Amino acid sequence: MSSTKQTIAFIGLGIMGRPMAINLVKAGFDVVGFNLEPAAIEAVAAAGGRGAGNIAEAVKGADVIAVMVPDSPDVELVLTGEDGVFDNAREGALVIDFSTILPDVSRRMAEVGAARGLRVLDAPVSGGEAGAIEGSLSIMVGGTAEDFALGAPVFDAVGATIVHVGPSGSGQTVKAANQLIVAGNIELLAEAIVFLEAHHVDTEAAVKVLGGGLAGSTVLQRKAGNMLSRNFAPGFRIALHHKDMGIVTNAAREAGVVIPLGAAVAQLIASLNAQGHGGLDHSALFKSVEELSGRAGESHTS
């Protein structure tokens, strides 16, 4: 078994990367983790993986290199920076970028990687921290069908709904649409809960019945509780959703597509970010609805 074990370097062990790396250990991969904050490297080692002191050390000899860092410049640095992945990966290695970044950066990374004899997939995910812990993420993959097939054992270890959506960059375009839908859902859920509280309705009962009808959604299941309890610990940080609304509004503009509600929610997320709430969970859109309604700080018991 150990001689056939695939080695995976995992770069970026934050809210998402850390549980994903641990699920890969559980699935039997030899996982070598690297992260800017060393505590997460220790957590992966404690779960049965190994730690590395830098990207070059993590990547040497790896069959697969997984990346899960915040933004486009981070991915560019990790892949093409000095002592980065492309300088140190063995020829033919599969690079899976799980981060959510600009589609054209993904396309460029795939081209640069291919010129160096590497296979590169963009594979952004949805399902949040809970999905990462459960290993039930939705994964939207861009790249060649051959490379997608090669990545299947890795995807199966971290995800439940895994779809090849087209050539390089397509995964990111689908993820941009995902973020548009999620942002709109969260905003309307926040508006509904502020509305219900203002009418002194039993909000827990209301959320329960709403969840069984057409208004039900994964957003409602996973985020209503944060709003009712005013617990906005991330989860998915406002700063990251602000990045993603930039991606989708740019991509819509490039395609000549108008997204009026998306643009409005993008502004509300930008406002929270500008007010210093970038570190809160995106369910904190609730705070801005409360403030706009002059209800911030009001007692919320019904």
Give the DSSP H/E element, type plus range, for residue 140: strand 137-142
Element at 9 (helix H, strand E) = strand 7-11
Among residues 42, 57, 76, 129, which is the contact residue for ligand NAD, using CB under 6 A? 129
Identified binder of ligand NAD from the candidate list 7, 23, 100, 226, rule CB under 6 A: 100
Nearer residue to ligand NAD within complex by CB, 18 or 203: 18
Which residues are known catalytic residues?
175
Instruction: Using CB positions, name the residue nearest to ligand NAD.
Output: 14
Whose Cβ is closer to ligand NAD: residue 79's or residue 194's?
A: 79
Distance of alpha carbon 279 from alpha carbon 181, whole angstroms: 21
Question: Of 44, 125, 174, 248, which one interacts with ligand NAD (CB under 6 A)?
Answer: 125
Q: Which stretch binds ligand NAD (CB under 6 A): 22-30, 120-128, 166-174, 294-302?
A: 120-128
Residue nearer to ligand NAD on the CB measure, 63 or 71: 71
Structure token pair of residue 219? 């957003």
Instruction: Please state, in angstroms and rounded to a whole number, the distance separating the CA atoms of residues 300 and 286.
Output: 13
User: Which is closer to ligand NAD, CB of 40 or CB of 89?
Assistant: 40
Answer yes or no whether residue 233 interacts with ligand NAD by CB under 6 A: no
Q: Which one of residues 16, 102, 118, 247 is an interface residue with ligand NAD (CB under 6 A)?
A: 16
Cα–Cα distance measured from residue 105 to residue 169, given in angstroms and rounded to the nearest whole number: 8
Q: Do 51 and 35 form a contact (C-beta atoms < 8 A)? A: no
Among 8, 31, 40, 284, binds ligand NAD (CB under 6 A): 40
- Answer yes or no whether residue 56 interacts with ligand NAD by CB under 6 A: no
Looking at the DSSP bridge assignments, the partners of residue 85 are none
* Residue 84 DSSP one-character state: S
CA angle 29, 33, 35 (to 5 degrees): 155
According to the binding rule CB under 6 A, does residue 284 interact with ligand NAD? no
Stretch that binds ligand NAD, among 103-111, 124-132, 182-190, 258-266 (CB under 6 A): 124-132
Cβ atoms within 10 A of the Cβ of 209, count?
Answer: 10
Determine if 34 is a binding residue for ligand NAD (CB under 6 A). Answer: yes
Task: Report the DSSP beta bridge partners of residue 138.
Answer: 126, 161
Compute the 3-state secondary structure of the chain and give helix, strand, coil in percent, each to the nearest 5: 55, 15, 30
Counting contacts by CB under 6 A, is residue 12 touching ligand NAD?
yes
Contact call for residues 99 and 93 (beta carbons, < 8 A): no
What span, in angstroms and rounded, lies between the C-alpha atoms of 238 and 241?
5
CA angle 94, 77, 28 (to 5 degrees): 35
Q: By CB under 6 A, tell whether 51 contacts ligand NAD.
A: no
Binding segment for ligand NAD (CB under 6 A), chosen from 67-75, 181-189, 215-223, 270-278, is 67-75
Tokens of 83: 């002592």
Considering only 11, 102, 224, 289, the residue that binds ligand NAD (CB under 6 A) is 11
Which residues contact ligand NAD by CB under 6 A? 11-17, 34-37, 40, 68-70, 74, 77-78, 99-100, 125-126, 128-129, 235-236, 240
